[in-house]
Amino acid sequence: MKKLSAYFVLGLLLIFGIEPRQTYAAVRETKNTAFQSYSLAFNDSEIFHTDITPFYKWTKVLRRMDAHKESTPPWLENKESLERLSAWDRAQKVDHLVNKYGYVSDMRNWGVTDYWEIPAEFFKRGGDCEDFALTKYAWLRSLATTEDNLRIAVVHDRVRNMPHAVLLLYINNKAMILDNQVKDIRDSSTTSRYRMIYSINRQGWWRPMTRFASAEPRVEEDMDRMEPASGGDDLPFSKACFDGADLPECINSIEPSAR
C-alpha cells in the first residue's frame, strides 16, 4: 500500500509542477509545528517537508511574481478599500473579485497543456484552477496576509474524479477554502468533496497522513451543495495510478490541464 500511495501521490504532484528529481522516500520529513493552533485542513494530519526545490513550476512562478509586483492594476484600484476591511472581509472580497474572471484552459490560453500564470497574466486572459488560486494567494500577500496563513492546495475532487487546485487560508482557527468552483469561502472541515494531495507555500510543503485508497468513492455534487464558478473539462484519473504502476506510466497517463 505504501508503494501504491507513493507512486500515486508523485504522479499527481508532477502534473502540478513537481519534477521527480528524488524519490518520495528521500524527501526529508520534518515535524510540522506552524499550524498547531488551527483546525486541520480537510480533517487530516500532515507531514511537513522543507525542500520545495522539486516543485519547479511553483518556484518559477514565485520568481516571476516577485519580478512583476507592480503590474497588477486591479490590486492598485482596490488597495485602499481592501486595506480598510477586516482580514476575513478582505479575503472574501478578494475571492469574489478573482472568481469573476473566466475559466480558460492553458491549451486555449497559451497553446500548452500546463502553464502557471502570474496575476498580471490572469487579469488579462483568465486562467485555470491553479491560476485562480495563485492570483488569490499573491493578492492576499500584497495585503499583508502572512505566508504562514496561506497555502496553495492540490486536491482530489471526488465529484469530478480529477485533480484541482484551491487556496487555503488559515484564519479564525480554521482552514478555509478559496475555490474558483464555489462562490463563497468555506471551512475545509465541512466538505467531503475534496481530499488533500499536497499543499505548499514559500516555507515548505505538506502531505496528508491519510493515503488514497485504490477504490476511492465518488461524491455526489449535491452532498456539498457547491456551485461551479467557472467551467472546465472532467479529466479522470488513469487506472494505472491506482494499481501501483511504474511512476512514468502513472505520470504520463494524466493530462495536466485539469480544472
Q: What is the mean pLDDT of each run of 10 residues along the chain (259 residues)?
A: 47 52 39 49 83 94 91 81 94 96 96 95 96 97 94 93 95 94 93 91 91 56 48 39 36 35
Q: What's the length of the chain?
A: 259
Give the pLDDT score at 173: 87
Q: Which residue has the cell 486555449?
A: 108
Alpha-carbon dihedral angle through residues 94, 201, 45, 220, given to the nearest 10 degrees: 50
Q: Which CATH entry fits the domain spanning 2-252: 3.40.718.10, 3.90.1720.10, 3.40.50.2300, 3.10.620.30?
A: 3.10.620.30
Domain extents in the chain: 2-252
3-state SS, residue 167: strand
**Cβ–Cβ < 8 Å for 15, 56:** no
Strands (E), the chain: 29-30, 46-49, 150-157, 162-171, 174-178, 186-187, 194-200, 205-208
Grid cell, residue 171, equals 484564519
What would the DSSP string read from start to end of 65-89? HHHTTT--HHHHHHHHHHHTS-HHH
CB atoms within 10 A of CB 103: 20
Give the pLDDT score at 38: 52
